[in-house]
Amino acid sequence: MHEETPLRQLIAERIDAAEPSALSPEAAALLHETLPEPAPEEEGRAGPVYLRSITAAGWRGVGPEATLDLPHGPGLTVVTGSNGTGKSSLAEAAEIALTGFNARWDGSNGGKPRAAPWRKGWRNLHEATAPQVAVSLTLDDAAEPVMVRRTWYGGEVEEASTTVVREDGTELKLDECVNASMLDVYRPFLPYSELGSMVDGTMSDLHRKISTFIGLGQLAEMDAKLAAQVKVCKETEARPGPLKTVAVEALEGLDDRRAVDAMRALGGRSPDIDAVRRLLDQDAVADQGDAARLRALVGLVGPDEAEVAGALARLREAIAAFEDVRHSNAEDARRLAALLEAAFEQRRRSGSPHCPVCGTEDRLDQAWAEATRAEIERLQAEAAEADAVRRALSGAKRAVHDLVQPVPDLLRGEESELAGLWRAWSLCRSLTDPAELTERVGHLAPRLGAACRQVGEDAARRLTDRDTVWRPVAVRLAEWVEAAEQAKDATGRRKSAEAARTWFRQLTDEFQTERMKRFERHAQDVWSKLCERSSVVLAGVKLGGPARQGKVLLNVSVDDLGAPAYSVMSQGELHSLALSLFIPRATHEASPFGFLVIDDPVQSMDTQKVEGLATVLSECARHRQVVVFTHDTRLEQAITHLGIEATVHRISREEQSHVTVERMRDPLQQAFGEVREVSLDPSLPQVVADRVIPAMCRAALEVACVETARRTLRDERGLRLSLAEFEKRVPVQARTREYVALALLGDPAGDVRAAVDRLHPGGGALIGELNSGAHGGLATVTDRKRLVARTERLAEAVLRFGRSTVGPQGGAR
């Protein structure tokens, strides 16, 4: 089966190729009728969508505006910082800017929606301006970015508007940049809340999304049509039973020859439909003439006076409300509010209190801002109120019109009082003036209702006089005959539909198995890297069950023994499983999104899984822009240890929710940059410099030694040490001599002095000076600049030694 072949064509070919013994002609015809519509040709983008920046202000943990700039195109970006610094706020800002919702509140993937007090925590407590979030996107490999901005105008998280603007000011619609259905199927966001809930409870939603992106999404639509056919047939088959019971009850004790014949026809396991039909046809001959008209008049119903009264009351209230606001102009209020908002925004952007139009100084001060905001809110409320009143009036008038029915066919052409009243009633539907409509309807409705009741009562008396007993029974019998004939036809259709659905489910299983192979391999590959040393094995990922209510089946084993996935997995393994299902979907080749945003995937993972996570993220970053937010420093350590190229940003949060984002440099460059900055500070007292500068130089040298040790240390098999093993070999609290010995000799107890001098003449003496100075034993740092330069040359020699020993490796950040 080739994914390039349209699904409709594949199914049609299989239907035509099926043997009659496996698929009857009736079932095959039904399957052809329910084939999915041809998929519309999608206008594919020239290239993927990438993130250029994420901005938030007044949103969750971010007070004043903060922006995270991101490298364009594929690559790994790690955003680190302590808990509460605003990392998740920025991650969720990107999500809600593009999708309009957030999984944390909406309870997606089986989670329960948050309680109301929690949902109100989306607005930052320290920022008074309107909250907003934004993402800058690159579309179709174009250089010009597009800014998607979501701004809140109300107190609820849903009360927000989205604008999309190109760099040149051109406005776009959001669906011109991102496809909502694609965001649902290939969703590139994985918040921490979903790591724990993705595999909990039902997985039917994940089944639907996987089915869609592997090209089988229309199977659910077709299965639903077949299921609906079966349901309708079963309902039709069930109708005659209750109707037969009612008819038999009406016939019992009836002293009429026709009743005896009807009971005989209805008796037994298989009632004689034809016999009852003949009985009714014979009886109908005597029923010609006035009886049919009399029955129609009995069933004639005029307007429901209670409904009319209620509708008129609402219309009168709407008229009164409209009179109160008819002189207000909602459009003028809305335009004035927009002008004031523009002025308010101009002040906020420029930061100047001076009027940009007349130049008056301090005209746009804080008092002006507060008054303007209040006026904007008043004008918006006034416009909204006027619009609501007009809509209410229109709705009330329409509700009254809907109660007015045309003249029944039975009365057309008559000159009776009832026909005249109904014609006058039907003309009310053309009245547009609310007051006139209220008066006419209020006048005619009770008269028409009374006339209908009187005519119906007269007709009923005449029918009763004509045939008091048999006629209701005949009606019951006629209803049963019609239902029984329909049920007979429905039985054959149901059997064909059930057979078609059984065959189709087998075909669905075959298609799913075939197309799931690549997804399954990718998920298993991610799992194997994340849980390399785990006894739990992800042996397979399958789609199971019908297309409408399917599940994702996880074949898990522990020490080669099958087991339920959730009962044998630790929390870290459950998170790894969620990543194993998320990454193949989000990185599918059909996804238009070139980025992934993952929030806090490291929690609950041991060090080995963190190292596996770093490997997985690195592989994803070859073809995707991967942005990972974490407070756990182990991910950054694993990336450094494995020599993975990554951009690292550090987030910090100060008073009043002031969030800052700083791009981190290479650790060695950063260390020497800091020591150079300190050494060049003329205000630094000499007594402080004598101890601080040697200590900082020593720390920078240790960074170079640790980096070299990562390259040179090997285990007994000649493979790179894991991060956990490396940390055992290179303790955090080691002395400088031990760091140098590990870097140059692989043994913390080796002869450091000789090794350093061979590598860099005078290096041993320099290390002694740094140790002595850091402990206050150095007399005076007379040449600060020279001491830093000597240390930097020694560090470079140590790094060159590592590179020459094991060859170049990635790791620049």
What tens digit of pLDDT does each residue of 510-559 get? 888 888 888 888 888 888 888 877 777 777 777 776 656 677 777 777 76
Q: What is the mean pLDDT of residues 151-161?
A: 87
> Which string of DSSP letters, residue by residue, matches 62-104?
B-S-EEEE--SSSEEEEEE--TTSSHHHHHHHHHHHHHS--HH
Work out the pLDDT band at 146, boundaries 50, 70, 90.
very high
Indicate whether 693 belongs to any domain.
yes
pLDDT digits 0-9 by tens, 392-408: 778 888 888 888 888 88
The SS3 call for residue 37 is coil
> Residue 498: pLDDT above 90?
yes
Q: What is the mean pLDDT of residues 69-81?
A: 92
**Do 784 and 741 belong to one domain?**
yes
Looking up tokens 């809110």, which residue turns up? 377
**Do 247 and 372 belong to one domain?**
no
Q: In a 10 Å sphere around its CB, with 0-12 CB exposed, 13-18 middle and 19+ buried, how is residue 285 labelled?
A: exposed
Q: What is the mean pLDDT of residues 163-184?
A: 86
> Residue 717: pLDDT above 70?
no
Looking up tokens 């756990």, which residue turns up? 632
Question: And the tokens for 2?
Answer: 């080739």
**Do 296 and 356 belong to one domain?**
no
Q: Check residue 51 and give its pLDDT.
A: 94
**Do 421 and 328 belong to one domain?**
yes
pLDDT digits 0-9 by tens, 177-190: 888 888 888 889 98
Instruction: For the chain, give the percent of residues with pLDDT over 70.
Output: 82
**Do 782 and 697 belong to one domain?**
yes
The total domain count for the chain is 3
> Cβ neighbours of residue 184 under 8 Å, at least 6 residues apart?
209
Beta strand pairing call for 536-544 and 551-558: antiparallel
**Do 252 and 374 belong to one domain?**
no
Judge contact between 80 and 626, C-beta under 8 A: no
Indicate whether 392 belongs to any domain.
yes
pLDDT digits 0-9 by tens, 763-772: 888 888 888 8
Task: Choose between 120 and 71: higher pLDDT.
Answer: 71
**Do 288 and 370 belong to one domain?**
no
Q: Check residue 159 and give its pLDDT.
A: 87
Average of per-residue pLDDT values in the chain: 81
Task: Choose between 73 and 738: higher pLDDT.
Answer: 73
pTM: 0.62
Q: Check residue 66 and give its pLDDT.
A: 93
Indicate whether 797 belongs to any domain.
yes
pLDDT digits 0-9 by tens, 356-393: 666 677 667 777 777 777 777 776 666 677 777 778 77
Question: And the tokens for 606?
Answer: 């041991």
Judge contact between 755 and 744, C-beta under 8 A: yes
**Do 437 and 343 belong to one domain?**
yes
**Pairwise CA distance, residues 667 & 669, whole Å:** 6
Q: How far is CA 778 from CA 687, 756, 763, in A?
A: 11, 21, 17
Indicate whether 625 belongs to any domain.
no
Task: Choose between 654 and 533: higher pLDDT.
Answer: 654
**Which of 187, 87, 148 lies closest to 582 in space, CA to CA?**
187
Q: Check residue 779 and give its pLDDT.
A: 61
pLDDT digits 0-9 by tens, 431-467: 888 888 888 888 888 988 888 888 888 888 776 755 6
**Do 296 and 325 belong to one domain?**
no
**Pairwise CA distance, residues 542 & 220, whole Å:** 16
**Do 706 and 794 belong to one domain?**
yes
For 757, the domain range is 667-806
pLDDT-wise least confident of 96-105, 114-123, 186-195, 571-580: 114-123
**Do 406 and 289 belong to one domain?**
no
**Do 295 and 352 belong to one domain?**
no
**Which of 588, 451, 610 lies closest to 522 in space, CA to CA?**
588
Q: Check residue 793 and give its pLDDT.
A: 92
